[in-house]
Amino acid sequence: MLTNNTKIYIAGHRGMVGSAIWRKLEKEGCDNLIGKTSSELDLRNQQAVKEFFAEEQPDVVIDAAARVGGILANSEYPWQFLYENLEIQNNLIASAHEFGVEQCVFLGSSCIYPKHSEQPMKEEALLTGPLEPTNQWYAVAKIAGVKMIEALRRQYDHNYVSLMPTNLYGPRDNFDLQTSHVLPAMIRKFHEAKVNGHATVTLWGTGSPMREFLHVDDVAEAVLFVLNREMGQGLYNVGTGKDITIQNLALLIQEIVGHEGEIEWDTSKPDGTPRKLMDVSRMKEEGWTYNIELKEGIRDTYEWFLENLDQIKEVEIEK
């Protein structure tokens, strides 16, 4: 159980997921939170990570740090997505074990499951078939992290847990059209088309794949839930258990943004996995379910996008 004095290190605390976890824990009265920017602590540097753990001696570690991106980014940077994510999680999980960290939460992604998994995807589907080729590099790294957590639970009886969220979105999402995921990319595209006289919006693929989406504040709730109990198993899916076609998602975002132009589908571009729906029964049996419905969550995300549009553009210019 967490107390106000529990020393919690959140790796990736400035990202979408890490910042949501930070806000949630702060709201719950956790006053002893630690966060380091990438310039302050390079998580790819094993020695630097070890020195940090030796100095800070955290009670809890939450690994929300990763190199992430959509289909385009994964396709163009396979080496970085594989190697850098392995470096980050290896250093964090190994140091947590070495320095006696009581609880560790490793955050992954639903992309760890085979491309043609039986739907909805159960935790038992892991390593039962080929991965989706467009994001296999990231997936292989995350699978290794899941297995590290499993090994430490089995060999040392650590209270370490892997949480595999479905597609996440929300405040502080990545809206860069070159590297973002589908939902924030659509928000950006529909907004810019609206500003440009309700111009036509071109989207990748056929619109037929089905996807599940979870607001980032819900995954923060799931992390808090896990930290306040001894979990029976090492791997849990975190999602809504409900999905939507990409086409219907586009129509929903178009409505919320207020875009009145046409939508064109570029069928020469890949669709990715046909369907990705999580079986969330294992987490439900522990007593956790999501709270934020998709329409409400997209409205919240679009409001944040509008409030931070200047800052988003500045970050892109700096690149």
* Residue of 154, 290, 285, 280 whose CA lies nearest to 229: 285
User: According to the annotation, is 234 in a ligand binding site?
Assistant: no
Phi-psi region of 299 (alpha: psi -120 to 50; beta: other; left: phi over 0): alpha
User: According to the annotation, is 36 in a ligand binding site?
Assistant: no
Terminal CA-CA length for the chain: 42
User: According to the annotation, is 35 in a ligand binding site?
Assistant: no
User: According to the annotation, is 159 in a ligand binding site?
Assistant: no
Report how far residue 210's alpha carbon sits from residue 204's, in angstroms, rounded to the nearest whole number: 14
Instruction: Read off the tokens for 214.
Output: 């979870």
Please give the torsion angle defined by the CA atoms of residues 144, 150, 152 and 158, in that order, rounded to the nearest 10 degrees: 140
User: According to the annotation, is 110 in a ligand binding site?
Assistant: yes
User: According to the annotation, is 15 in a ligand binding site?
Assistant: yes
Q: For 294, what's the count of Cα atoms within 13 Å in the CB-facing half-sphere?
A: 21
Report how far residue 274's alpha carbon sits from residue 271's, in angstroms, rounded to the nearest whole number: 7
User: According to the annotation, is 181 in a ligand binding site?
Assistant: yes
- Three-state SS at 210: strand
Active site (annotated) includes residue 290: no
The number of beta carbons lying within 10 Å of the beta carbon of residue 22 is 22
User: According to the annotation, is 44 in a ligand binding site?
Assistant: no
User: According to the annotation, is 306 in a ligand binding site?
Assistant: no
Catalytic residue among 9, 138, 160, 169: 138
To which residue do tokens 């039986």 refer?
Answer: 118
User: According to the annotation, is 204 in a ligand binding site?
Assistant: yes
User: According to the annotation, is 189 in a ligand binding site?
Assistant: yes
- Binding residues for NADP(+) are 12-18, 107-110, 142, 165-168, 181
- Binding residues are 12-18, 107-110, 142, 165-168, 181, 189, 204, 211, 271
- Binding residues for substrate are 189, 204, 211, 271
Show which residues are catalytic. Answer: 138
